[in-house]
Amino acid sequence: MADDSQNRDTMTPRHVGIIMDGNGRWAAARHKPRGFGHKAGVDAVRKAVRAASELGISHLTLYAFSSENWSRPQREVRDLLGLMKLFITRDLAELCANGVRIRIIGSRTDLSPDILGLMETAEFRSRDNSVLNLNIAFNYGGRDEIRRAFARLAAEFAQKGRDPGTITEADICGALDTGGQPDPDLLIRTSGEMRLSNFMLWQSAYSELVFLPCMWPDFDKSWMEQAIEEYASRTRRFGGVEDAKDIAL
């Protein structure tokens, strides 16, 4: 489990997760198809990655494509997959040059060979980078991540003859897609919607949540700074109390 105490005295979150929402509504407001909004959203991804590096954030997780997104119209799914491919092929060299390490989180079952190949290439080529750890949540669902983690642990414990009743929180954290990384200090959702939508359910137990009114294509460094300012204004107790005054409250 991540050591939250390491981050209590800093105003900048180590790990920020973002639910990138509002592409379709942004496009509709401009009388454009949803694909137009998704393309603009890729530009916002670049701005978010750049802003995270400039602001000293060490881990950034972007919710790119959920396991539920497959139910969207076939054309939109095709557009989203195409943009994922374009982002990796066009931006990988620059990301690597800027010290960004890429990890794709989510289920890889039944993904096409071309998508899998791009994922593996991005992870391999960026494996030694350390300025920013970028998690791209693709074919991702928080409940499915937990299910897969328990399946891995069950198989491991059975193989080693260990009692499954001894599974610890640390075991679970290590088996998640984000194993070895700190839990997100701050979760941001754009577009004004106020829900987690099956994103990092285990890891967000003590995350600060900030809901921004901007649509994702309008997101830039100023919006990131606004979210961090809100984060810094809060007192994180992690289930405890800040001082003696709180005991009486």
How far, in Å, CA of 172 to CA of 185, rounded?
19
CB 225 within 8 A of CB 55: yes
Find tokens 């995350």 and name the residue. Answer: 207
State yes or no: is 21 an active-site residue.
yes
Task: Write down the catalytic residue from 3, 4, 9, 21.
Answer: 21
Q: Give the E-state strand segments of 35-99 in sequence order.
A: 59-66
How far, in Å, CA of 21 to CA of 2, rounded?
27
Count of CB atoms within 10 A of residue 222's CB? 12
Q: Give the E-state strand segments of 84-221 in sequence order.
A: 100-105, 132-140, 186-189, 208-211
State yes or no: is 69 an active-site residue.
yes
Query: If DSSP codes are grouped into helix, strand and coil, which group holds residue 47?
Result: helix
For residue 16, what are the β-bridge partners? 60, 186
Helix axes 34-54, 221-232, angle to 10 degrees: 60
Task: Write down the catalytic residue from 69, 98, 129, 198.
Answer: 69
Find tokens 């198989």 and name the residue. Answer: 155
Cite the active site residues.
21, 69
